[in-house]
Structure 1
Amino acid sequence: MLSVNDLIIRMGGRAIIDGASATLPARGCVGLVGRNGAGKSTVMKAMAGVIEPDGGRIDKPRAARLGWLKQDAPSGSASAFDMVMAADTERAALLAEEEAGAPPERLADLHERLIAIDAYTAPARAARILKGLGFDEAMQARPLDSFSGGWRMRVALASLLFTGPDILLLDEPSNHLDLESALWLEDFLLSYPGLIVLISHERDLLNRVAGYILHLEAGKMQLYVGNYDSFERQRAERLAQLEAARAAQAAQRAKLQDYIARNSARASTAKQAQSRAKALARMQPVAEAATDPTLTFDFPSPQPLRPPLVTLDQAEVGYDGKPVLGGLDLRLDPDDRLALVGRNGNGKTTLARLMIGQLPAMAGARNATGKLKVGYFTQYQVEELDRDATPLQHMSRAMKGAAPAAVRAQLGRFGFSGPTAEQKIGTMSGGERARLALALVTRDAPHLIVLDEPTNHLDIDARQALVQALAGYEGAVVVVSHDRHLIEATADRLVLVDSGRATPFDGSIDDYEALVLGGSSGGNAAPAPAAKAPRIDPKEARRQAAARREAAQPLRKAMLAAETKLNRLIADRESVEEQMTQAPADITALMLRKGALDAEISAAEEQWLAASEAYEAAIAA
Structure 2
Amino acid sequence: MINIQNLSLRAGIKPLLSGANLAIHPGQKIGLVGQNGAGKTTLFKAILGQVTIDGGNLSIPADWIIGYVEQESGELEQKVLQYVSFGDQLYADAIASRDAAEKAGDEDAIVRAYDQLDKLQGFAVENQARQLLYGLGFTENSFSQSIAEFSGGWQVRLKLARALMQRADLLLLDEPTNHLDIEAVSWLKQWLKNFPGAVLVISHDRDFLDQVVQGIAHIEQQKITYYNGNFAAFERQRNERLMQQQALHDKQKQQMQHLKTFISRFKAKASKAKQAQSRVKALERMEMVAAVQASNPFHFEFPEPKVQPDPMLQIEQLRFSYADRAIIEKADLVLRAGDRIGLVGVNGSGKTTLLKLLVGELKPEGGKIQVARGVKTGYFSQHQLDTLRPEWSPLQHLLALEDAPSDQQARDFLGGFGFSNEQCLQQVEPFSGGEKARLAMALIVFQQPNLIILDEPTNHLDMETRDALEMALQDYTGALLLVSHDKHLLASIADQYWWVHQGQVELFHGDLDEYLNEQLRRIRQQSEEEKKALISEDASAAKTTNKKQQRIQNAHQRKQLDALLKADLQLSRKLEKSLEKTQQELDRLHALLEDSSLYDAANKDKLTECLQAEAKCKQDLEDLEMQWLEIEEVIQQKKIDFEAKLAG
TM-score range, shorter chain: 0.7 to 0.9
* DSSP-derived class of the 1:379 partner: coil
Q: Structure 1 residues 167-176 or 117-126, which shifts more? A: 117-126
Cα distance in 2 for residues equivalent to 1:522 and 1:7: 47
Cα 1:414–1:95, aligned 2, differ >3 Å: closer, same or farther? closer
Q: Residue 43 of structure 2 aligns with which residue?
A: 43
Q: Residue 264 of structure 2 aligns with which residue?
A: 261
Cα 1:99–1:369, aligned 2, differ >3 Å: closer, same or farther? closer
Q: Residue 512 of structure 2 aligns with which residue?
A: 509
Is structure 2 residue 121 aligned with structure 1 residue 89? no
Q: Deviations 1:568-617 (Å, cap 9, x if unpaired)?
A: xxxxxxxxxxxxxxxxxxxxxxxxxxxxxxxxxxxxxxxxxxxxxxxxxx
Is structure 2 residue 384 aligned with structure 1 residue 381? yes
Cα distance in 2 for residues equivalent to 1:82 and 1:228: 36
Cα distance in 2 for residues equivalent to 1:11 and 1:520: 42
| Count of aligned positions | 525
Is structure 2 residue 176 aligned with structure 1 residue 173? yes
Cα 1:410–1:113, aligned 2, differ >3 Å: closer, same or farther? same
Contact persistence 1:488–1:509 (CA under 8 A): yes
1:12, CA displacement in angstroms? 3.6
Q: Deviations 1:26-80 (Å, cap 9, x if unpaired)?
A: 2121100112221211111211222222222321110000111245555611121
Cα distance in 2 for residues equivalent to 1:286 and 1:37: 24
Is structure 2 residue 63 aligned with structure 1 residue 63? yes
Aligned residue among 368, 373, 389 for 2:371: 368
Cα 1:357–1:383, aligned 2, differ >3 Å: closer, same or farther? closer
* DSSP-derived class of the 1:248 partner: helix
Contact persistence 1:297–1:415 (CA under 8 A): no
Which amino acid counterpart does residue 25 of structure 2 have in structure 1? P
Cα distance in 2 for residues equivalent to 1:356 and 1:327: 18
Cα distance in 2 for residues equivalent to 1:420 and 1:50: 33
Residues 268-283 of structure 1: pairs in structure 2 closer than 5 A: 268-283=271-286
Cα distance in 2 for residues equivalent to 1:236 and 1:116: 51
Cα 1:388–1:356, aligned 2, differ >3 Å: closer, same or farther? closer
Which amino acid counterpart does residue 4 of structure 2 have in structure 1? V
Contact persistence 1:32–1:215 (CA under 8 A): yes
Contact persistence 1:516–1:523 (CA under 8 A): no
Cα 1:96–1:14, aligned 2, differ >3 Å: closer, same or farther? closer
Structure 2: gaps of 5 or more residues: 529-648
1:384, CA displacement in angstroms? 4.8
Residues 535-546 of structure 1: pairs in structure 2 closer than 5 A: none
Cα distance in 2 for residues equivalent to 1:440 and 1:287: 35
Q: Residue 6 of structure 1 aligns with which residue?
A: 6
Cα 1:34–1:244, aligned 2, differ >3 Å: closer, same or farther? same
Q: Structure 1 residues 398-407 or 294-303, which shifts more? A: 398-407
Aligned residue among 440, 443, 449 for 2:443: 440
Contact persistence 2:301–2:445 (CA under 8 A): no
Aligned residue among 498, 502, 506 for 1:499: 502
1:442, CA displacement in angstroms? 3.2
Cα distance in 1 for residues equivalent to 2:487 and 2:73: 25
Cα 1:293–1:173, aligned 2, differ >3 Å: closer, same or farther? closer
Contact persistence 1:317–1:359 (CA under 8 A): no
Contact persistence 1:2–1:23 (CA under 8 A): yes
Cα distance in 1 for residues equivalent to 2:249 and 2:516: 45
Which amino acid counterpart does residue 227 of structure 1 have in structure 2? N
Which amino acid counterpart does residue 234 of structure 2 have in structure 1? F
Contact persistence 1:132–1:524 (CA under 8 A): no
Q: Residue 541 of structure 1 aligns with which residue?
A: none
1:416, CA displacement in angstroms? 2.6
Is structure 2 residue 52 aligned with structure 1 residue 52? yes
Q: Structure 1 residues 481-490 or 358-367, which shifts more? A: 358-367
Cα 1:96–1:520, aligned 2, differ >3 Å: closer, same or farther? closer
Q: Structure 1 residues 114-123 or 247-256, which shifts more? A: 114-123
Cα 1:297–1:118, aligned 2, differ >3 Å: closer, same or farther? farther
1:422, CA displacement in angstroms? 2.1
Cα distance in 1 for residues equivalent to 2:412 and 2:73: 40
1:260, CA displacement in angstroms? 1.1
Contact persistence 1:80–1:143 (CA under 8 A): yes
Higher normalized helix content (fraction of residues): 2
Is structure 2 residue 399 aligned with structure 1 residue 396? yes
Q: Residue 304 of structure 1 aligns with which residue?
A: 307
Cα distance in 1 for residues equivalent to 2:246 and 2:18: 23
Contact persistence 1:45–1:51 (CA under 8 A): yes
* DSSP-derived class of the 2:329 partner: strand
Q: Deviations 1:365-406 (Å, cap 9, x if unpaired)?
A: 210113221111123222553444321122223448654345
Cα 1:347–1:108, aligned 2, differ >3 Å: closer, same or farther? closer
Aligned residue among 211, 214, 224 for 1:211: 214
Q: Deviations 1:208-245 (Å, cap 9, x if unpaired)?
A: 11011111111110111110011111111111111111
Cα 1:109–1:28, aligned 2, differ >3 Å: closer, same or farther? farther
Q: Residue 31 of structure 2 aligns with which residue?
A: 31
Q: Residue 577 of structure 1 aligns with which residue?
A: none
Q: Structure 1 residues 300-309 or 412-421, which shifts more? A: 412-421
Which amino acid counterpart does residue 465 of structure 2 have in structure 1? A
Which amino acid counterpart does residue 82 of structure 2 have in structure 1? D
Cα 1:372–1:115, aligned 2, differ >3 Å: closer, same or farther? same
1:309, CA displacement in angstroms? 0.9
Which amino acid counterpart does residue 425 of structure 2 have in structure 1? E
Cα distance in 2 for residues equivalent to 1:246 and 1:460: 26
Q: Residue 465 of structure 2 aligns with which residue?
A: 462
Aligned-pair identity (%): 38
Q: Residue 242 of structure 2 aligns with which residue?
A: 239
Cα 1:78–1:111, aligned 2, differ >3 Å: closer, same or farther? closer
Cα 1:524–1:347, aligned 2, differ >3 Å: closer, same or farther? farther
Cα distance in 2 for residues equivalent to 1:262 and 1:480: 66
Aligned residue among 332, 335, 340 for 1:332: 335
Is structure 2 residue 355 aligned with structure 1 residue 352? yes
Cα 1:202–1:188, aligned 2, differ >3 Å: closer, same or farther? same
1:321, CA displacement in angstroms? 7.7
Superposed CA RMSD in Å reads 2.4
Cα 1:318–1:376, aligned 2, differ >3 Å: closer, same or farther? farther
Which amino acid counterpart does residue 372 of structure 1 have in structure 2? V
Cα 1:383–1:166, aligned 2, differ >3 Å: closer, same or farther? farther
Q: Residue 191 of structure 2 aligns with which residue?
A: 188
Structure 1: gaps of 5 or more residues: 526-621
1:439, CA displacement in angstroms? 1.1
Cα 1:383–1:364, aligned 2, differ >3 Å: closer, same or farther? closer
Is structure 2 residue 492 aligned with structure 1 residue 489? yes
Cα 1:387–1:42, aligned 2, differ >3 Å: closer, same or farther? farther
* DSSP-derived class of the 1:344 partner: coil
Q: Structure 1 residues 497-506 or 102-111, which shifts more? A: 102-111
* DSSP-derived class of the 1:64 partner: coil
Q: Residue 200 of structure 2 aligns with which residue?
A: 197
Q: Deviations 1:530-568 (Å, cap 9, x if unpaired)?
A: xxxxxxxxxxxxxxxxxxxxxxxxxxxxxxxxxxxxxxx
Cα distance in 1 for residues equivalent to 2:526 and 2:263: 72
Cα distance in 1 for residues equivalent to 2:258 and 2:405: 54
Q: What is the TM-score when the length of structure 1 is the normalising length?
A: 0.80
Cα 1:373–1:284, aligned 2, differ >3 Å: closer, same or farther? same
